[in-house]
Copies of this chain bind each other. A is one copy, B any other.
C-alpha cells in the first residue's frame, strides 16, 4: 500500500468508530426505563423524558457519562414526582460508575486498520468529543496510543474546531482526512473546512448526532476499507 499523494494526516473519531460506546448507553438506558417505569403510569414515556432532560442539560454538562448519570437521576426524581426510591437512585449511580469502569472494546478491524495506516506513514490524530478524563483513560486502555501522534479532546466538532486541529498538525486542509460514525460531527464540518471525510456508520446513532444530508457522503462499511479509500483519494 502506498501513501496518498495528498493526505498526510488521518483524524479518527473515537466512540463508535474505534471502540463501542453507544451500545453501553443504550443498555443502561433500557435498565433505567425498566427501573423508573415501575413508578410511573403506562402513559409516561420514560425514554422521551430522559432525552428531554439530557437536552436541557447539554449546555451545562456537555457530553459524557457523568452528565448522563446526573441527567438520569434528575429525570428519575422528576418523572416519578419524587416517588422513586433512594435504593433505585443508588442503582442508577452504580450503573454510571459501571459504564465508566467498562473495559475498552475495540470495534472489529480497528487494530489491523490502524496498524496499516501507521505502517503506510499516515500521521494519526484521534479527534473526540466528550469528557476529557474518561476519553484519556479510554485512549490509554485501547492499546492504540503508541500508533497515534496526538489526541485532541474537543467540546464541539464544528468547522472552527477542525480548522484548529488541522492547523495544529501543520498540514493544509486537503492533506487531512477524517473518519467517523457521525455525518454531522465527523464528515460535514470537515468537508466545509476543505478536508476529506468518510463516514463509517455504526449500527446505532445517538439521537443528537442525526444529520440530514443528500446521500452523497462517502461511506465505508468497515474501517478495514479505510487504507484503500485513502490511497484512492490521491
Contact = CB atoms under 8 A, between A and B. Distances in A.
A84 interface: yes
Nearest to A77: B90
25 contacts: A57-B97, A60-B100, A60-B101, A61-B100, A62-B131, A62-B132, A66-B66, A69-B70, A70-B70, A70-B93, A73-B73, A74-B90, A77-B86, A77-B89, A77-B93, A82-B86, A85-B86, A86-B89, A131-B132, A131-B133, A132-B132, A132-B153, A132-B155, A133-B155, A136-B155
Top 6 A-B pairs, shortest CB-CB distance = A62-B133, A132-B132, A66-B66, A77-B90, A60-B100, A82-B86
Interface of A: 57, 60-63, 66-67, 69-70, 73-74, 77, 82-87, 89-90, 93, 96-97, 100-101, 130-134, 136, 153, 155
Describe A's contact surface by its main secondary structure: helix
Tallying the copies of this chain within the complex gives 2
A86 B88 CA distance: 10
B155 A63 contact: no
Contacts of A155: 132-133, 136
Given A77-B90, A90-B77, A133 B63 contact: yes
